[in-house]
A = this chain, B = another copy of it.
Amino acid sequence: MTTIDELVTGVLSGDRRSIAKAISVVENNAKEAKRLVALLYPHTGKSHIIGLTGAGGAGKSTLADKIVREYRQRGKKVGVVAVDPSSPFTGGAFLGDRIRMQELSTDHEVFIRSMATRNYPGGIAKATKDAVRVMDASGKDVVIVETAGAGQSEVEIIKVAQTIVVVHAPGLGDEIQAIKAGIMEIADIFVVNKADRENANKTVTDIQANLQLDNKEARWKTPVLKTTALTGEGVSELVQKMEEHRQYLNQEPENRSLGRAEAELTEALRERMVDSILGNLKKEARFQELLKKISDRKIDPASAAEQLLKKAFESVKT
């Protein structure tokens, strides 16, 4: 058995087996994960964390592969965390991509990890964040988080990234409105892949038109780039733009870093509060009484929760 301390030493030295084991720990064991992350945390904050998301069929996985190769050519160590690549609803087109990715993983400065489609203690977003921290601590210069699709949970996951790249293929049409409402607002770079298709320029223009409305005040103007992942065209320019975004972030004042810290602390508080308080509340007789009342439709759950908490926290020292 490897102890957590041995695991930490291994991860910090960049040992591949230790990285793999450490990610398994954050995936499976909430208690050990806590200790592991606490020990690794002082060694994080050095990687450039890139989020890559977009529609199924946009060629995102092929693009991810090309981005990794481009970073390798630039001498950077790369980690990839692929979230939900086997989603039943994004189709079976991933096998080819996986084989390509496995080729890459014979390169010892590239570490690729797929997160499975299942429930994690603390949720998939937390597991992903911790996996990124492990890779960060292991000395990767760049960590790419790839998510499938762009539902609310994917948006939650991708927020771990510093630079968010949203990939789409030509032929948006009416969908542009829907994109605006969702993931567009968190994009730092927009990519129209499959740029060899005839309607690629139209899609670029559509996206730009929508971006302008939001972009007026921002210091970073979200660019819309074209790539053809299959041939690699435009990938070097995309990586260049990602690097520029990182430089832009580095110039940001300290309050951005404090803002990120606040988001992380708030989330950790949220988790802990539930763990530590809910268990105690459930032991109370009042809890059981209120269950019966809810079941009999005599009180609604929100009002019942209020009653319980009012009683419990009458004397909270805050």
Contact = CB atoms under 8 A, between A and B. Distances in A.
Copies of this subunit = 2
Contacts of A260: 295
Interface in A1-58: 34, 37-38, 41-45, 54-56
Interface stretch (A74-82, A174-182, A218-226): A174-182
A314 B318 CA distance: 10
A44 B183 CA distance: 35
Given A88-B150, A269-B305, A316-B312, A41 B281 contact: no
A287 B117 CA distance: 35
A311 interface: yes
A178 B117 contact: yes
Contacts of A179: 88
Interface of A: 34, 37-38, 41-45, 54-56, 84, 86-89, 91-92, 116-119, 123-124, 149-154, 173-175, 177-179, 181-183, 254, 257-258, 260-262, 264-274, 276-278, 280-281, 283-284, 287, 290-292, 294-295, 297-306, 308-309, 311-318
8 contacts: A37-B300, A38-B303, A41-B297, A42-B297, A87-B182, A91-B175, A124-B152, A258-B295
